[in-house]
Amino acid sequence: MQFIANPTMIGAVAPSSARLARAMVDAIDTGPGQRIAEYGPGTGVFTDEILRRLDPKARFFAVERNTALADVLKARLPDLHLHAASVEEIERICREEGVEQLDSIISGLPWASFPESLQRRILDATIRVLRPGGTLVTFGYHVGLFTPAGRRFKKLLPEYFSTITRGRYIWRNTPPAFVLRCTR
C-alpha cells in the first residue's frame, strides 16, 4: 500500500470518493480556453472527473511525483498529459505545455503531511503560474486541522490568496473531507 510506504507523499489511506471528486471539479471552470493543472493525481479519481467535464478547447495536464502512481495512471489514460515530476517544477512544466498562466489548479497533495518549507516552495511556485483571479482547489480532512502541519497550512493560505472558501463536508469519503477554494 503506497500510504504505508510513504505517508508524506500519499496523503490518504483510501482513494478519494467520486463525491469528493465532483465537489472539487464543481469549484473550477472546465470550459473553452481554460488552462487547468492537477497536482498529485494519484489514482486519477479527480482526473477522471475533470476529463468528463473538460471542453475540447481547454488545456489540461497533471503532475505526479510518485513514479509508480504515474505509471499506473499513464497506462490507464495514455492520452493524458502527465508529467512525472514535483509540482515545485510547475513553471518549467507550464513552459513545456505552452501555457503562460493557469486558470485553475486542482490539488490532491497531502498538505497536512508536508513541512513548512515544502508547503511554501509549492505555494510560491503555484502563485507564479496562477493568473490573477485564478483558483487553487484542494481538500482537507477534519483530522488534519488538528495536526501542526495542517494548522500551519491553513495559516499560510491567506499569505498567498485573497479569498479562501471552505465547502461543506463530504461525509461519503474516507475519511470525511472538505473542499478549499483559494482565489489569487
pLDDT value, residue 14: 78
pLDDT, greater one: 15 or 108? 108
- pLDDT tens string 130-183: 999 999 999 999 887 778 889 999 999 999 999 999 999 999 999 999 999 999
CATH number of the domain within which 99 lies? 3.40.50.150
Dihedrals phi, psi of 176, to nearest 5 degrees = -55, 140
- pLDDT tens string 46-98: 999 999 999 999 999 999 999 999 999 999 999 999 999 999 999 999 999 99
> Contact at 8 Å (CB) between 182 and 163?
yes
Write out the residue range of the structural domain in which residue 26 sits.
Answer: 2-183
Average pLDDT over residues 14-23: 92
The SS3 assignment for 147 reads coil
Verdict on whether the full-model pTM lies above 0.85: yes
Residue 13: pLDDT band by 50, 70, 90 thresholds? low
pLDDT value, residue 4: 37
What does the alpha-carbon distance between residue 19 and residue 34 come to, in Å, rounded to a whole number? 23
What does the alpha-carbon distance between residue 136 and residue 170 come to, in Å, rounded to a whole number? 18
Task: Provide the edge-to-edge strand list for the sheet that holds 59-63.
Answer: 82-83, 59-63, 35-39, 102-107, 130-141, 177-183, 163-170
Per the structure, the count of domains in the chain is: 1
The closest alpha carbon to 64, from 55, 46, 49, belongs to 46
Residue 1: pLDDT band by 50, 70, 90 thresholds? very low
CA angle 71, 75, 78 (to 5 degrees): 115
